[in-house]
Structure 1
Amino acid sequence: MRLHHQQSLLLIVDFQAGLLPVIEGGEAAIEEAAWLAGVAEALQVPVWLTEQYPERLGSTAPALLSALGEQQVWQKRHFCVMEEPEFANALQAQKARQIVICGTEAHICVLQSALGLLEAGYEVFWLSEATASRRKDEARLARERACARGAVAVTADMVAYEWLNRCDTTTFKEVHQRFLKPRSPRDVTFF
């Protein structure tokens, strides 16, 4: 069950300005999601964002938007994005069968979206260090629950190197120079 960039989509859930101040490790999670989104863009992996009730929670955090290239933004009212018919239909029209998911809050919208994706037959990969909640225990329990139902916990490095597949290509060299340089160690634990 390896990831293939031709079959993947990166789904970034609800990193919204109004929510982030209360998210434990939210800034570091955004940094990790933005890093992987850069790799995704270089490999032409679609990047989709969701926003839960943006009139109330604000739009996607500017720090994330400024780091992203081309992306699709979906506004939603359901906690599970698969309950939004427009989103579900658009996803079905994509060639993506492997969904790398991250965002906030892990125990609400990310979890329910991951479960909905699994129910619809997608392979779901839970991007651990880019998924957070107000409380660390809720994020950990959400990951455990999603994985118990069939999701696979991954790190950004795992995803990037599986998407790249080999080291002797021009693409690898370009992506490696641009994104895969050593990153600073994180002092926050993510789940």
Structure 2
Amino acid sequence: MAHRLRFLNSKKTLFLLCDIQEKFRPVIPLFEGLLKNADKLTKAGKEFQIPLIVSEQYPEKLGNTVCELDIAHAEAVITKTQFSMLVPEMENKIKALYGERPCDVVLYGLESHVCIEQTAIDFLNNGINVYIVADCCTSRLNQDRDLALDRLRSAGCVITTSESIIFNLLRDKNNPKFNAIRKLVNPPSIDMQLAKSGSGGSKL
């Protein structure tokens, strides 16, 4: 059963950016769209002062996080070889930030059916609500992404989009962050071909 949908609290939320690295660029068909959407979400998280943790899968071979994403405000950039982001270094960083654990994590990056899925499983098993930002996730094959989103929804994740997360945090035009956020969301997000019909298609 899915977790109860609720408003996010910026002081109890963690953004997780997973493995958006240079070597994936030529093999991910929707990579440029992913970058634009992830850039918007990452900048919004910075405006809301939400901690960000970034992972890089085996960067010696796969390169670092792409230069288009400004992650200078990240609390940590963690290298890993296991597919889940929840490695000991991240666990220690989360304890330092929150005492024990956040209420919610907002997870985005790639690949959806590997590192995103396994990270979500680990956080769900630790009793933490997981928001998967579907328009900021992709795989080499759309069918792998779509089926992964279906599995993650069934497992209890909230499947959402970057603008939904941003407006969930904003909530009110009178929020002092409104003007900064308005500039971010004024250009529409890139359509990541999520509304698929037929077997295995994710319907958001």
CA distance in 2, matches of 1:24, 1:58: 18
Map of 1:53 onto structure 2 = 58
Aligned partners of 1:41 and 1:69 also within 8 Å: no
Q: Which residue of 2 aligns with 1:40?
A: 45
**Contact in 2 for aligned 1:38/1:69 (Cα 8 Å):** no
Match of 2:155 in 1: 149
> Which residue pairs with 2:77 in the alignment?
73
Normalising by the residue count of structure 1, what TM-score does the alignment of the two structures yield? Answer: 0.90
Across the two proteins, how many residue pairs are aligned to each other? 186
| TM-score normalised over the length of structure 2 | 0.85
| 1:90 partnered with 2:96 | no
Q: Do the aligned partners of 2:104 and 2:129 also contact (CA within 8 Å) in 1? A: yes
Between the aligned partners of 1:87 and 1:185, the Cα distance in structure 2 is: 29
**Structure 1, gaps ≥5 residues long:** none
Kindly indicate which of the two structures has a greater share of residues assigned to helix: 1
Change beyond 3 A, Cα 1:163–1:184? closer
Give the % identical residues. Answer: 27
Q: CA deviation at 1:29?
A: 0.7
Match for 2:97: what amino acid? Answer: Q
CA contact (8 A) 1:10 1:47 kept: yes
1:168 aligns with 174
Q: Report what 1:139 is aligned to.
A: 145
Change in CA separation of 1:46 and 1:131 when aligned onto 2, cut-off 3 Å: same
Q: Deviations over 1:66-118 (max 9, x none)?
A: x3441121111110121x11112222333332111011111001110011111
Aligned residues of 2:21 and 2:63 also touching (Cα < 8 A): yes
Match for residue 136 of structure 2 among 130, 141, 147: 130
Q: Give the CA deviation at 1:185.
A: 5.7
Contact 1:4 1:162 in 2 (8 A): no
Which consecutive unaligned segments of at least 5 residues does structure 2 have? 1-5, 195-201
Structure 1 residue 39: deviation in Å? 0.7
1:94-105 correspondence runs (5 A): 94-95=97-98, 96-105=102-111
Q: What root-mean-square deviation, in Å, do the aligned CA atoms of Structure 1 and Structure 2 show? A: 1.6
